[in-house]
């Protein structure tokens, strides 16, 4: 097999051997899932509301709705994009004639795996030589997370 690894549309020249697996890891254990849209501080949920890293519930860049509003106020909470993903990867398997995409969400011990593989040309039946797509489904024996069908091909996770 001959493959070229690209990062941000640029080929990576320093790969010694043909890559079999390429992945992105997201070290969210050091980051928060929420931040303040005004001051960009990471936020932590408490029983009294959201606080920044110093434990302060007040935002130093609070922007009141009215001109005569207070100079400080609560943080404006927003979710951090991609904070829900642990890792994303792609692997190729020449022996299986398959490409697998894995996406791990929430639980870092597993992943949702989507695979396209070619059925061998000499396989019995009508599928010989055809490409097939394997996707996660609600009643899998070892699911990464629970799936509920929203409509054909779309699932709610968790």
β-strand 112-118 against 42-46: which pairing, if any? unpaired
pLDDT tens column, 83-125: 888 889 999 998 999 999 999 987 777 899 999 999 999 999 9
pLDDT tens column, 75-92: 889 998 888 888 899 999
Q: Catalogue the E-assigned strands of 4-153.
A: 6-7, 10-11, 21-25, 34-36, 42-46, 49-51, 58-59, 73-74, 77-79, 85-93, 98-105, 112-118, 131-134, 147-151
Task: Return the closest-CA partner of residue 78 out of 32, 47, 46.
Answer: 32
**Residues counted in the chain:** 158
Arithmetic mean of pLDDT, 38-58: 90
Q: What is the reported pTM?
A: 0.75
């Amino acid at each position: 097999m001959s493959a070229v690894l690209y990062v941000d549309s640029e080929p990576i020249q320093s790969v010694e051997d043909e890559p079999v697996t390429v992945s992105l890891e997201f070290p969210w254990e050091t980051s928060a899932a929420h931040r303040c849209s005004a001051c960009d501080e990471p936020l932590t949920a408490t029983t009294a509301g959201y606080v920044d890293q110093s434990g302060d519930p007040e935002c130093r860049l609070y922007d009141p709705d009215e001109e005569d509003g207070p100079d400080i106020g609560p943080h404006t909470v927003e979710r951090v994009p991609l904070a829900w993903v642990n890792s994303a990867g792609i692997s190729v398997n020449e022996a299986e004639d398959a490409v697998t995409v894995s996406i791990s969400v929430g639980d870092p011990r597993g992943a949702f795996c989507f695979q396209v593989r070619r059925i061998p040309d000499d396989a019995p039946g009508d599928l010989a030589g055809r490409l097939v797509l394997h996707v996660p489904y609600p009643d899998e024996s070892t699911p990464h997370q629970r799936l509920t069908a929203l409509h054909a091909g779309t699932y709610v996770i968790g």
